[in-house]
Amino acid sequence: MMALLELHQVTKAYDELKVVDGFDLKVHRGELRCLLGPNGAGKTTTIDLITGRQKLSGGQVSLDGTVISDWPEHMRVRAGLARKFQIPAVFKGLTVRQNLEAAFTRHLSPIRNMFVFRDRETQDRIDEVASLVNLKDRLRVRADELSHGETQWLEIGMVLTQNARILLMDEPTAGMTTQETHKTGEIFNGLKGTHTLLVVEHDMSFVRQIADRVTVMHMGRFLAEGTIQDIERNEEVQRVYLGQGGAGHHA
């Protein structure tokens, strides 16, 4: 089976320093893949390279067999990539409803959108996503009045509204309480099969809750891949994480 997202020998170098170094990754349709690794392993940079926020120094990224690594950001998004940022990025001055509506990208053209008004389909989609991410009662609230956890859910909601082919989540549970993290895990488990997700995370209990397969990066390189049990037993992974105080440290 052809992978939906494929990274081939992806490299990012700043002068001599290689932040990502010949990294390979295949994510299949309907899969929830976790990308794990200690701080500075190059996880966020890898996401940046996939979305086009940073330019590759070498290698290529393909989506469904098409090489996209020389496309501009918004073209990649149109091709089906959706990203959730590490620091929650929502439209603070707009309401929760408006944020979700903006993310409902049925049409992208400015001229076309001058003639698009709120309709039943948009409302239904927004209501559906809002209840999925626990924000059903907060639709009228301005985004800058939400709690941190709610802001993260709003952004996850925005990514879901986009109906993208693959969702890239960069530390979706950062700054969340244990309860919020657990709730987020339930949301993700509900998406398996119907959505393809690549999640960067280092909260191990969260990873245990959601992961099918885990890929571990270290110093910009591929280190290991397998089920969560395989990874936790893997000696190399233990060694890398022991230097950081153990893989279970963040749990």
Partner 1 sequence: MRSNLYHNTTAQWIVYVVFFALMAFVPIVIDDTFTTNLFARFLVLGMLALSVSLVWGFGGILSLGQGIAFGLAAYGMGMTMQMQSQDPESSPIPSFMLTNELTKLPLLWEPFWHTPTGIVLALLVPTVFFLIFGAMMFQARVAGVFVAIVTLAMLSAWYSMAFDMQPYTAGFNGISPPSPLKLGEHIVDPYSNEAYWIALGMLTLATLGLKLLLQSKFGLIVQAVREDPERARFLGYSVSGYQIAVFTVSGFVAALAGVLWVMIVQYVSPTSLEVTFSVSMVIWAAVGGRMSLLGAILGAFFVNGIQSYLGDEMLYGFLLVLGGLFILIVRFLPSGLAGLLESLLERLVRRPADQRGQ
Distance CA 74, CA 56 (A): 16
The answer to whether 115 contacts partner 1 (rule: CB under 8 A) is yes
Q: Are 62 and 6 in contact (CB under 8 A)?
A: yes
Q: Are 16 and 193 in contact (CB under 8 A)?
A: no
Query: DSSP label at 234?
Result: -
Query: DSSP label at 219?
Result: T
Q: Are 209 and 189 in contact (CB under 8 A)?
A: yes
**Contacts to partner 1 from residues 204-243, by CB under 8 A:** none
What is the smallest separation between the CB atom of 113 and partner 1, expressed in angstroms?
A: 4
**Contacts to partner 1 from residues 60-79, by CB under 8 A:** 73-74, 77-78
Between 34 and 82, CB nearer to partner 1: 82
* 67, 102, 242, 251: residue in contact with partner 1 (rule CB under 8 A): 102
Q: Are 16 and 216 in contact (CB under 8 A)?
A: no
The answer to whether 158 contacts partner 1 (rule: CB under 8 A) is yes
Between 71 and 222, CB nearer to partner 1: 71
- How many residues touch partner 1 (CB under 8 A)? 37
What is the smallest separation between the CB atom of 49 and partner 1, expressed in angstroms?
A: 14
- Which residues lie closer than 8 Å to 81 by C-beta, 6 or more apart? 50, 51, 63, 68, 164, 165, 166, 168
Residues of this chain that interact with partner 1 (CB under 8 A) are: 51, 73-74, 77-78, 82-83, 85, 89-95, 98-99, 101-103, 105, 107-111, 113-117, 140-142, 145, 158, 162
